[in-house]
Amino acid sequence: MANNLLTISMITKEALMVLENNIVFAKHVRRDFDDKFGVSGAKIGTTLNIRKPVRYMGRTGQGLQIEDANETFVPLTLTTQRGVDIAFSSQDLALSIDDFSNRFVKPAVANIANMIDYDGLQQYLNVYNAIGVPGTVPNALLTYLRAGQRLDEEAAPRDDDRAMIINPGMQATIIDTLKGLFQSSDSIAEQYEKGTMGKVIGFKWSMDQNVAVQQIGALGGAPTIAAAGAGAVANVINTYGWTAAAAQRLNIGDTFTIAGVFAVNPQNRQSTSALRQFVVTAPGMSDGAGNMAISCAPAIVTAGPYQNVTAVPAANAAIVIGDSTGTASAAGGTNTPQGLAFHRDAFVVACADLQLPGGVDMAGRVSDKKVGFSIRLVRAYDINTDRFPCRLDVLYGWGTLYSELACRVQS
């Protein structure tokens, strides 16, 4: 018996299922803002400002001490539209859904899922905490434990919403090192049968080929802080001591520490005994005299409810690039994959329903709050070739809500 022609709803539902099975990073982040976009009668455009909780200092004693409530916001913008354009014949539409999916839907949607994950993992550029030595693949569990420690020091919740995303090389190295020791029987099965880590040391581990690679800028000289207090204003730190003979640079995403500037716990504002790390937010280039103004995050705050360091940088304080220990700079030009240890609230992705156009052969859209994505398929008909050109589209946006709830694992 001949198969019935496949309907647009069958194809779009299959596409959504394939998308869910192929995304990795997006499964571990916030996805609860989709209904804020494109609501009938209340459209907000493409940007949503997400309000962050207010912090307070608190008081000691009976005297009333009213504090100002300073709210902060993080913009989430939906501007990325990804898609794949394909065409098939009327004969192709007579296939079973399984055959049609294997031939057309899975390859197309897997490509979209890959692009979504790739874009998401670029959020590492907003993360200033980093563990590990650039250029060296971690071969001990201690490195990953230190990433968890960094999240603890930043007051990240200790719950089931912590995740670890690493690349294939990092996964192969750590699994070979551990060989299932001190794991639950289920985790051992995951390691030996599937080559994955499962849940270990409080993290849900996943491998993703899209883990980003940071190229550390061309470095030279012995950079130091130009003047006491530099960097306390406008997220810019003035430095000198770079090699003057040739321009040196810092790339967006490079991290560094400053001697004597320690991180503090956001709740009690006590030193964590770890140097505060900063991330470069704009390309920096030294001048002929070896001076460089570094744009970076976070902004230095030394007092109040949002305090994040123990002190402003001292004059001539040494700057160390890349290495999280503050003792040795990473080599300029090093390519270092950036795995991510993070809590669910660190990042967010949202998706909006795209409009269904008229004047076409067929248009369909399907979304699922559980999946957190909406995919649209529009199909036309070409009478000259008896083919059905069609396009699959997803409109989404990524954002970093709480940089402090994430830590890079460098390799």
For residue 242, the domain's CATH number is 2.40.30
Residues 46 and 145 in one domain: no
Residue whose C-alpha is closest to residue 26's, from 336, 317, 338, 396: 396
pLDDT of residue 194: 44
Domain final residue pick, 301, 333, 365: 333
Residues 90 and 176 occupy one common structural domain = no
Query: Is 267 among the domain residues?
Result: yes
- Predicted pLDDT of residue 181: 55
Query: 328 and 221 share a domain?
Result: yes
Residue 172's domain comprises: 127-208+337-345
Please report the pLDDT score of residue 44 as a whole number: 41
The answer to whether the predicted template modeling score (pTM) of the entire model surpasses 0.95 is no
Residue at a domain's end among 317, 345, 373: 345
**Distance separating alpha carbons of residues 175 and 196, to the nearest angstrom:** 8
- Say if residue 136 is in the same domain as residue 99: no
Instruction: Give the phi and the psi of residue 114 in degrees, each rounded to 5.
Output: -60, -40
Residues 97 and 29 in one domain: yes
In the prediction, which pLDDT does 362 show?
A: 83
CATH number at residue 140: 3.30.2320
CB 334 within 8 A of CB 134: yes
Asked if residue 284 and residue 243 are part of one domain, the reply reads yes
Asked if residue 304 and residue 395 are part of one domain, the reply reads no
187, 197: one domain = yes
**157's tokens:** 């919740």
Asked if residue 313 lies in contact with residue 261, where contact means CB atoms within 8 angstroms, the answer is yes
Amino acid 56: pLDDT: 65
**Distance in angstroms (rounded) separating the CA atoms of residues 117 and 166:** 13
Q: How high is the pLDDT of residue 12?
A: 82
* 247 found inside a domain: yes
- Is 274 inside any structural domain? yes
pLDDT at residue 226, rounded to an integer: 87
Tell whether 81 is covered by a domain. Answer: yes
Q: Which helix (H) or strand (E) holds 276?
A: strand 271-280
Task: Assess if residue 405 is contained within a domain.
Answer: no
Cα separation, 113 vs 98, in Å, equals: 19
Q: Domains in the chain: how many in total?
A: 3
- The reply to whether 308 and 358 lie within a common domain is no
For the stretch 199-221, pLDDT in tens is 888 999 999 999 999 999 888 88
Kindly give the residue spans of alpha helices, DSSP state H, lying in 166-306.
168-178, 185-189
pLDDT of residue 34: 62
Asked whether residue 59 is assigned to any structural domain, the reply reads: no
In a domain, 301, yes or no: yes
**Cα torsion angle, 78, 398, 363, 37, sign:** negative
| pLDDT for residue 40 | 40
Is residue 383 assigned to a domain?
Answer: yes
Tell which of 311, 333, 355 closes a domain.
Answer: 333
Do residue 32 and residue 107 come from a single domain?
yes
pLDDT at 209: 92
- Are 49 and 97 part of one and the same domain? yes
Regions of the chain where pLDDT drops below 50: 1-4, 38-44, 182, 191-195
Q: Show Cβ contacts of residue 297 under 8 Å, excluding neighbours closer than 6 positions.
A: 126, 128, 235, 278, 279, 281, 403
37/83 same-domain check:
yes
* 126-151: pLDDT as tens digits: 999 999 999 999 999 999 999 999 99
| pLDDT tens sequence across 34-58 | 655 544 433 445 777 777 666 666 7
The pLDDT score that the predictor gives to residue 341 is 97
